[in-house]
Structure 1
């Protein structure tokens, strides 16, 4: 088995093969960045609507909560096929790449919305009251007071979700998207063994995800140190007021 791997490696080392893999990796990262990026934006919008008070917004809150609970509990692959067949059934000529990105957006909006909600709710409710005293509108309070404080809580799990989806994009190969896993199928169907083909793809996924994981760890540690530093430097009276004392 190892001998076969060694024998195939020199034949694999061509410009065309590596160029093919490079663009497959680019497609993988593009899907992740577009899907998670838009999901993050829509997640913020979802949570803003979900947390808006008043009986007039009750139907909106029900819809937002239902959306979150439903799409957090469906398999991504099933959702991908559903979006693909619905788009074709409605006559939309979407590319497979666009279908994959749309599916990621739908799913990530629900997951990232929950991450955002947890971050926003970590900010003490007195911050809302203080902003109200300063005549901030709800949108101004959300944008200038709550989100900057919640960001440190939101960012680490949101980035971890991004890294996780770099690997989960491999499921889009089942719909025919030409990303890394589909590239492995291509090599396997063109004279390379399955072990060599998918072993190579495995190494590339690791090369993509490990630096991102390390970056996430560094980011989380830096945010933690920043929070501890602020808590240490904050006057005792301010801390008591922040706790509602």
Structure 2
């Protein structure tokens, strides 16, 4: 196997192949970043909606709960295929990247909403009551009182999700998005051995996800130390 990789390497490591891999890696990063950023914003909205009280907002709470449960339970690939066929039926000119980006945002929002909701619920009820006594609105309470305390709980599992999420974007290759996994298939079809083509993809995924995992571990250790000193 190693002799075959060595013999194929000069033809593999050409400018155009490296450019192709770099563009595929950029697509993977873009999908991941869009899913994380937009998913975090939507997830925060869902989490805040589910913390509300009163009958008037009950339909919104039900909608937020239903959205979260559906997109957390349905496999990523099934959601991606459904989104693909819906876009093909109603918005046929939509690019495959947009279809994948919408799907990753929905999936990320569902999972991140539960992480954020857990962080919000970790704040002692006295903090909520104190904000209510000061006539803070719900959004003011979340922004000025709850989130500054909850983010220490939210960040560690959120980073763990981010790392897994980068790998899940590989499923976008199933609808033809030219990301890293799709690039590996293309290079394999050009005649390069699977060990070389997908080995290169493996290394690129590692180079993308490992720094993020280390950053998450460092933040988790720092936050744990901070909580220990406070206690």
Residue aligning to 2:100:
100
Residue aligning to 1:243:
none
Query: After the TM superposition, which segments of 4 or more aligned residues of structure 1 sit over 2 Å from their partners?
Result: none
Residue aligning to 1:18:
18
Q: Does 1:111 align with 2:130?
A: no
SS of the aligned residue for 2:57 comes to helix
Q: Mind listing any 5+ residue stretches in structure 1 that lack a counterpart?
A: 232-245
Q: Mind listing any 5+ residue stretches in structure 2 that lack a counterpart?
A: none
Q: Does 1:145 align with 2:131?
A: no
SS of the aligned residue for 1:56 comes to coil
**CA distance in structure 2 between the aligned counterparts of 1:168 and 1:91, rounded to whole angstroms:** 25
Matches within 5 A, 1:115-194: 115-194=115-194
Measured after TM superposition, the shift of residue 19 of structure 1 is: 1.3
Measured after TM superposition, the shift of residue 225 of structure 1 is: 1.2
TM-score, L = length of structure 2: 0.97
Measured after TM superposition, the shift of residue 156 of structure 1 is: 1.0
**CA distance in structure 2 between the aligned counterparts of 1:189 and 1:69, rounded to whole angstroms:** 39
Measured after TM superposition, the shift of residue 168 of structure 1 is: 1.0
Between the two proteins, the alignment pairs up a number of residues equal to 231
Q: Does 1:39 align with 2:39?
A: yes
SS of the aligned residue for 1:53 comes to coil
**CA distance in structure 1 between the aligned counterparts of 2:91 and 2:163, rounded to whole angstroms:** 33
TM-score, L = length of structure 1: 0.91
**CA distance in structure 2 between the aligned counterparts of 1:174 and 1:137, rounded to whole angstroms:** 45
Measured after TM superposition, the shift of residue 69 of structure 1 is: 1.1
**CA distance in structure 2 between the aligned counterparts of 1:190 and 1:92, rounded to whole angstroms:** 30
Measured after TM superposition, the shift of residue 194 of structure 1 is: 1.6
Q: What do you get for the CA RMSD once the two structures are aligned?
A: 1.1
**CA distance in structure 1 between the aligned counterparts of 2:49 and 2:92, rounded to whole angstroms:** 29
Q: 1:143-167: CA deviations, max 9, x gaps?
A: 1000110011011111111111111
Greater Cα radius of gyration, structure 1 or 2 = 1
**CA distance in structure 2 between the aligned counterparts of 1:202 and 1:126, rounded to whole angstroms:** 48
Q: 1:185-221: CA deviations, max 9, x gaps?
A: 1111112112211111111111111111111100111
**CA distance in structure 2 between the aligned counterparts of 1:79 and 1:207, rounded to whole angstroms:** 28
**CA distance in structure 2 between the aligned counterparts of 1:112 and 1:162, rounded to whole angstroms:** 10
